[in-house]
Amino acid sequence: MLSAALVLGALVGASVAKPEASPFGISSSLTKRISSGCSTSGPASCHNTTRETNLCCFESPGGLILQTQFWDTDVSGSPSDSWTIHGLWPDNCDGSFSEDCDPSRDYTDISSLLENQGATSTLDFMNQFWLNDDGSNEELWEHEWATHGTCYSTLQVDCLPEGSPKGAEAVAFFETVVNLFQTLPTFDWLEDADITPSSSKSYSLSELTEALEKQFGATPTFDCDDSTVTQVSYYFNLKGSVIDGEFIPTDSPESGSCKSSVKYPPKKG
């Protein structure tokens, strides 16, 4: 079962549909290895009315968090019945963003980092569902951590429990990305709306958006390469820490690159 801290929360003033269970059968071995010690009873990121000073327990300035997923049709080993992970990015509340925030923590050999800290189940899942479309998986994981992971205020080294091993914040980042991805079964949600990959059929962008909006409880964004859908982004605000906080669905602040009619082709295998 999912850690209760990672179950999708309720939108402020609105009801959010929650997946009853992960389609991937999340193992209890994917539970968190460290605790932030932060409460989730405070304001959500981007919704505070006073200045927050404890940025170990309040994500700022990157409080508009987007989880992006690929639909890669020609990546070896990419599952035919699932989208795959691109990343988890901390945009600022105004839509701007920072990148490469702490080069001193640009960890390499992510596989060994995860294995050495007991997160082998997370690594196994990443090797199935976090795939690089242009290079090795390690290169993508290293890039996502260095470019985006180092920018989270709640994942700074000073925010970790005393005695945490080097790189524990990166391990927590990858565990959170995987756990959050498992609550967002894009393929299944589209299939529930009779939207399945097809070599000949086109769908309206509104059909895809409404199918996910119904399940997610907020409006995601699709991106396309010409008319072919390649990526979806789900947006969140956060209560507490990225380590074990509550991710609250929120509407995308922008439209994606897709036109009104899109193609959703099957993977090539």
**pLDDT, tens digit, 9 for 90 and up, residues 79-134:** 999 999 999 999 999 999 999 999 999 999 999 999 999 999 999 999 999 999 99
Contact at 8 Å (CB) between 33 and 121? no
Domain ranges of the chain: 55-263
* Helix 137-147 vs helix 120-129: crossing angle, to nearest 10: 110
pLDDT value of residue 269:
62
> Could you say which of 47, 142, 143, 148 is catalytic?
148
Alpha carbon 132 to its chain centroid, in Å, reads 16
Q: Where does the chain show beta strands of DSSP type E?
A: 64-70, 84-91, 202-204, 221-225, 228-239, 246-250, 261-263
| 36 DSSP 8-state letter | -
Q: Which residues of the chain have pLDDT under 70?
A: 1-32, 269
Buried b (16+ CB within 10 A) or exposed e, 43-57: ebbbeeeeebeebbb
**Looking at 86, 142, 175, 246, which residue is catalytic?**
86
Count CB-CB contacts under 10 A for residue 109: 13
Residue 17's pLDDT is what?
Answer: 32
Among candidate residues 142, 144, 169, 175, the one labeled active-site is: 144
The pLDDT value recorded for residue 33 is 78
The CATH number of the structural domain formed by 55-263 is 3.90.730.10
Active site residue 47: no
**pLDDT at res. 205:** 98
pTM of the model: 0.89
